Structure 1
């Protein structure tokens, strides 16, 4: 019986990997930006938090998140303390960071399932914020977590939150003082998180996002109020 029971965790991992595969297989890749003007997006409801990014505050020491093993342990509200801490460190809106975590919670998280999926798809993202290796390696340069490799993300959700906050900061730093599109700063930064800095800057010039980017922004709007609630409950 003990040997049979030991197989169940791997069954759960296999099912989770299958779920990720089915989700990503059904996704609609974002087409290259075209020259069409951007349609106006509905701005997220205000929560009282400033909509834009500010200059980063001083670095803080790395901290490990609480032990997380079950699927419920990776729910975004669980990481409200880390979101508030590292959003302040990076000088970005904590509601934006939390909303990104909600957006990225479409697939199961945890060391076992993420590494199993990465064996099937080497370019897969890691951590609760779904960061790809290239984005993480660029973000960690000259940061307090510069010595932490990308491979640590599945094991340390706090590191994943910290990296996501600084990545959003870096995206915001690339935005011009004024842009022709109708998106808010937070919306553009979220689009940049999903599609890359080049596309973000194109959207700021008025280029129309593709279907996947529009879907990401719609989900950000859907998650905006619950993100404020998750932070308020902390």
Structure 2
């Protein structure tokens, strides 16, 4: 019965749209990234606020050469569901292809991203318990997506918006959007939430 209730919660839950208006569009300047190494990953707390992870976001974004504000905005986008390790694992037993961790990363993306990196020995199954690892993997996944973007692009999306869409929909769709293809309803919803979370992400990093 608890598993059925959990399944119903996930199936009926919709990602909330933020009421925060963005202070600038994705791709604009962001708070300076810190080179300070993140503190050792702590076990997840009962409550979760992406802003509490500003330090590792800044550090891992700097290491990967990606926008810390983009990474933080993605964490806000992916915070629509409870990131409790037990709940995530219960849902994964019901839906094996579900994503893990606060950055909602799928197994294939994690396994591809970790190759040749400092966390190559880590396992996807560790993501629910290690939020630092989840942030690190997300940062390098964005790095790998950025390497695939063409220098010349068309369409209304900024570089950071395209990377966020790539994170959500995959590299092939990202490249299509970079050619000017209009995002579908789900991709547009993700993009709208990213824009709504952009100001919140900047505020979190400025703390």
TM-score normalised by length of structure 1? 0.77
Q: Could you tell me how far 1:62 is from its partner in structure 2?
A: 8.4
Change (3 A) 1:63 1:138: farther
Partners of 1:82 and 1:158 within 8 A in 2: yes
Change (3 A) 1:192 1:117: same
In structure 2, distance between residues paired with 1:67 and 1:115:
15
Q: Could you tell me how far 1:66 is from its partner in structure 2?
A: 2.6
Instruction: Say whether residues 1:69 and 2:31 are aligned partners.
Output: no
In structure 2, distance between residues paired with 1:219 and 1:45:
11
Number of residue equivalences: 196
Match of 1:49 in 2: 30
Instruction: Say whether residues 1:178 and 2:159 are aligned partners.
Output: no
In structure 1, distance between residues paired with 2:180 and 2:30:
26
Partners of 2:162 and 2:174 within 8 A in 1: yes
Change (3 A) 1:115 1:139: same
Match of 1:191 in 2: 165
Q: CA RMSD in A?
A: 2.5
Which whole-Å deviations, capped at 9, do the CAs of 1:171-211 have from their partners, x for residues lacking one?
Answer: 01100111122211100000000100000000000111100
Partners of 1:188 and 1:200 within 8 A in 2: yes
In structure 2, distance between residues paired with 1:14 and 1:160:
27
Which whole-Å deviations, capped at 9, do the CAs of 1:85-106 have from their partners, x for residues lacking one?
Answer: 1000100000000000000001
Q: Could you tell me how far 1:63 is from its partner in structure 2?
A: 5.8
TM-score normalised by length of structure 2? 0.87
Which whole-Å deviations, capped at 9, do the CAs of 1:96-133 have from their partners, x for residues lacking one?
Answer: 00000000001000210000000000000000000000
Change (3 A) 1:17 1:196: same
Which of 54, 77, 94 is equivalent to 1:80? 54
Change (3 A) 1:69 1:123: same
Partners of 1:180 and 1:204 within 8 A in 2: yes
Unpaired stretches in structure 2, ≥5 consecutive residues: 16-23
Q: Could you tell me how far 1:21 is from its partner in structure 2?
A: 2.6
The correspondence of residues 6-21 of structure 1 with structure 2, limited to 5 A, is 17-21=7-11
